[in-house]
Amino acid sequence: MSDQRSDALQNTGADALPESTIPHIENLPAILADVAARSQDMLRDFSQRHAIDPEWMDSAVSEMNINDIVGVPDTFAELARQMIADPEHLAQAQMKYWENGLKLLNYFSARLAGQTPDPVAQAKPGDRRFLDDDWSEDPYFDFLKQQYLLFTQWVDDLVDCTAGLDPQERKKARFFTRRLTDAMAPTNFLLTNPQALNETIETKGNNLIRGLEMAIEDMEHGHGRLDVRTSKRGAFELGENLANTPGQVVFRNDLIELIQYEPTTDKVRKTPLLVIPPWINKFYILDLGEEKSFVRWAVEHGHTVFIISWVNPDESLKHKRFENYLTEGPLAALDAIEKATGEKKVNAVGYCIGGTLLGTMLAYLADQGQEERIKSATFFTTLLDFSDVGDLSVFIDEDTISRLEEHMKDNGLLTGREMSSTFTQMRANDLVWSFAVNSYLLGREVRPFDILHWNADYTNMPSEMHAFYLRNMYLENRLREHGGIEILGVKIDLAKVKTPSYFLATKDDHIAPWRTVFESSRLFKGPSKYVLAGSGHVAGVINPPSRKKYCHWTNNAKANDPKAWFEGASQHPGSWWSDWSKWINRHAGKKDQKLRKPGKGELKALCAAPGTYVKKRSD
């Protein structure tokens, strides 16, 4: 670094170079040498423990390679061919990159001379990687940051402007080149991260030793795969500080446990509430302890709440199909609730894919003349129209799904860890790199984080069910067609559904884009209310009023498109829960019914909530 400063001094004519913001940087070589010596025994012991462990190696190499499934090598090869075929664009992009590079050199020279010019490149809003003061106060790290940002912009320009690329190939190329540039960020490496350098010098390298210990622990936890921790392990226990709303499992079959919660009010509303969570993760996202629990909040507002807890399927359940998830899931729950309470009708809530299943069930019941069994239907961040699925579209095409189907033939399942890796790649900076830097470079234990603990508690997918869902919904968008899919011999037609519905979307949702949720809300024949909340797919939904976070938008006027709806919408501070409460109470009846104790009706209690299915982990 001293040679670089001397060159810069000669080039700028400055009398003196600014000091680095990193104190005692001259001690770094000795510290790193000491860290290398201290870490040798740890690495040797780790290597010896697993050198002759075949199960360790098998688990590490047998997992699905998402890049191969999506066909990333072919995408990059096609990108290269099209770039070569369009040399003019390539030259223009290169010239722009050089011009910006010269601007950056002039900026750097001005900073070394004590001036404060406007930056050439700035991080996008929401990019938290460069928040540390050193990235702007130290001219050398400022230069490094902006050089990286210009490079990423150049890569984006190459992909976005290369003619001849198929739209799907362009999406893939854009997505995976950004994953590469994310990985190359200077924040991810010790010698180019000022915060990590400061920590290393201040602790004399103890942060790196602790980081190596955590990396080894994460490798052990991932059975050969680096399973980057996102929440403090051991901080949460189901039934204690998560999924702790009192209740009983009152029904069980191969796929579900049905939990009925203990009432906490003097009287309850007539119509029970059935909650259908997604089966990609565990149900307790809706019961995140006392402060964030949607379930507990609904119970406190006088609802008799039932929730489906999906099993985490193993190979014994690999034959289960989408129609099994319907019949053994919400349809079976309806019959069980009638036995438990004597009520034939329920208000139903579906979250994400649980909402897709709910919409399918409504159309099925309408065909069977039983639509009255659902008095109202609420959909949390649910797609029924899959015309725009956001970042997930990268993984949706015929070749990708065919390769995935071939992969799932091996054991009849898509493992939860493989599924999780797909969603993790969509938010790599937030879910991988930020935590890797925190743990391995800074040597700091992560905080207990309930949502990220839940996010890592993934489940397996039976192959036939998952392939049906991907093909018919995501790839071919057949659910929105009249009779586009057939379930149990019934052609599913959402236009037959007259049930009142409430659709919640979230503005920053990268899984169920709010505009597509709006289009989904228009597919039923019955009255529908659409509400938009702040934040994303999870935080926007799990937002109790007591937290006073985010905001939500409502618009009672009819609109033909999401843009017109939003332009005419009113913004309200805080949670949407209170708005939904007013809506659902019109369908739930007054609080004048006697209390319904779990296990006191025709269905007996099988075990205490949260039950047994939720505790089975994929790993």
The set of catalytic residues is: 352
The answer to whether 169 and 397 are in contact (CB under 8 A) is no
Q: Return d(Cα 213, Cα 286) in angstroms, integer.
A: 34
DSSP for 222-271, written as a single string: TTTS----SS-TTS--BTTTBS-S-EEEEEE-SSEEEEEEPP-SSSEESS
Hey, what are 272's tokens?
């029970």
Q: CA torsion angle for 16, 20, 25, 29 (degrees, to 10)?
A: -80
Residue with tokens 């709303």: 245
Q: Return d(Cα 68, Cα 345) in angstroms, integer.
A: 47
The answer to whether 24 and 15 are in contact (CB under 8 A) is no
Residues whose CB falls within 8 Å of the CB of residue 529, separated by 6 or more in sequence, listed in order: 501, 502, 503, 556, 583
The answer to whether 418 and 63 are in contact (CB under 8 A) is yes
Hey, what are 452's tokens?
């990220």
The answer to whether 289 and 242 are in contact (CB under 8 A) is yes
3-state percent breakdown (helix, strand, coil) of the chain, nearest 5: 50, 10, 35
Cα of first residue to Cα of last residue in the chain, in angstroms, is 46
Paired with 248 in beta bridges are 260, 608
Q: Return d(Cα 284, Cα 275) in angstroms, integer.
A: 11
Q: Return d(Cα 461, Cα 317) in angstroms, integer.
A: 9
Chain Cα centroid distance, residue 71: 22
The answer to whether 288 and 538 are in contact (CB under 8 A) is no
The answer to whether 386 and 356 are in contact (CB under 8 A) is no
The answer to whether 205 and 38 are in contact (CB under 8 A) is yes
Q: Return d(Cα 219, Cα 235) in angstroms, integer.
A: 19
Q: Return d(Cα 353, Cα 400) in angstroms, integer.
A: 20
Q: How many CB atoms lie within 10 A of CB 315?
A: 11
DSSP 280: S
Cα 613 to Cα 248, 258, 279, 305: the distances in Å are 13, 10, 12, 18
Cis peptide preceding 610, ω within 30 of 0: yes
Q: How many CB atoms lie within 10 A of CB 270?
A: 17
The answer to whether 591 and 302 are in contact (CB under 8 A) is yes
Q: Return d(Cα 251, Cα 604) in angstroms, integer.
A: 8
Could you write out the three-class secondary structure of 365-395? HHHCCCHHHEEEEEEECCCCCCCCCHHHHHH
Q: Return d(Cα 597, Cα 458) in angstroms, integer.
A: 31
